[in-house]
C-alpha cells in the first residue's frame, strides 16, 4: 500500500503482554528497507507511533504496545548496543573514569541500562532532557 513491492509482513501478538510486533521482510536488493527504517530508525519509530495510535483506537485499549521491525534491524541494533555497553563498561572499570554516551532514544537507553544492570563493577545513570538525554556509565567504588 505504500508503493513497495516484494515484501512480507508477519504479525506476532502476545495477548498477555499486550504487545504486537509487525515483522517486515523486504527484498534486500532494493532500497525499501532503508526507506522504512530511516536514519537511525527514525522512520520505524514514526511508523510505530502511527500504528500504536491506530491499534489502540481500534481495540479501545491504550495499554497495547506496537513494535515494528524491518529485516531484523531492531534485533541487530540491540545486539550492537549490548556489545557497545559491555565494551564501554570494561573501559570504565580499567580507567576508573566514567564515560558519557551520546544522546539516545529511550529504547536504546533502556537496552544499555538493562545490559549493565547486573554488573557489580559499573552503574548507569540517564541525564539530560528530551532528545539530549544520554547515559553515563560510572565505576562502582
Q: Over the stretch 97-134, which tens digit does the pLDDT of each residue have?
A: 999 999 998 889 999 999 999 999 999 999 999 989 99
Where a domain ends, among 44, 71, 98? 71
In a domain, 2, yes or no: no
Residues 124 and 88 grouped into a single domain: yes
Domain count, the chain: 2
Residue range(s) defining the domain that contains residue 109: 76-139
The pTM of the full predicted model, rounded to 2 decimals, is 0.80
What's the CATH code of the domain at 104?
Answer: 3.30.1370.50
In a domain, 1, yes or no: no
Residue 42 to residue 10: CA distance in whole angstroms: 21
Q: In terms of Cα–Cα distance, which of 72, 71, 64, 53 is closest to 13?
A: 64
In a domain, 31, yes or no: yes
Summarised one tens digit per residue, pLDDT across range 59-106 is 888 888 888 999 999 889 999 999 999 999 999 999 999 999 999 988
Residues 16 and 64 grouped into a single domain: yes
Q: In terms of Cα–Cα distance, which of 2, 4, 51, 3 is closest to 26?
A: 4
What's the CATH code of the domain at 28?
Answer: 3.30.300.20
Residue 127 to residue 136: CA distance in whole angstroms: 7
Residues 53 and 92 grouped into a single domain: no
In a domain, 62, yes or no: yes
In a domain, 28, yes or no: yes
Amino acid at each position: 500500500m505504500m508503493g513497495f513491492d516484494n515484501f512480507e509482513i508477519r504479525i506476532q501478538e502476545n495477548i498477555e503482554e499486550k504487545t504486537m510486533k509487525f515483522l517486515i521482510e523486504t527484498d534486500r536488493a532494493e532500497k525499501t528497507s532503508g526507506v522504512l527504517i530511516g536514519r537511525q530508525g527514525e522512520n520505524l519509530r514514526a511508523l510505530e507511533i502511527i500504528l500504536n495510535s491506530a491499534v489502540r483506537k481500534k481495540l479501545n485499549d491504550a495499554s497495547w504496545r506496537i513494535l515494528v521491525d524491518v529485516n531484523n534491524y531492531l534485533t541487530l541494533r540491540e545486539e550492537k548496543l549490548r556489545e557497545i555497553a559491555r565494551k564501554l563498561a570494561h573501559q570504565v572499570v580499567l580507567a576508573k573514569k566514567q564515560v558519557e554516551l551520546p544522546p539516545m532514544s529511550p529504547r536504546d537507553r533502556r537496552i544499555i541500562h538493562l545490559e549493565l544492570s547486573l554488573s557489580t563493577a559499573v552503574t548507569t545513570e540517564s541525564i539530560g532532557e528530551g532528545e539530549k538525554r544520554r547515559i553515563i556509565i560510572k565505576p562502582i567504588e
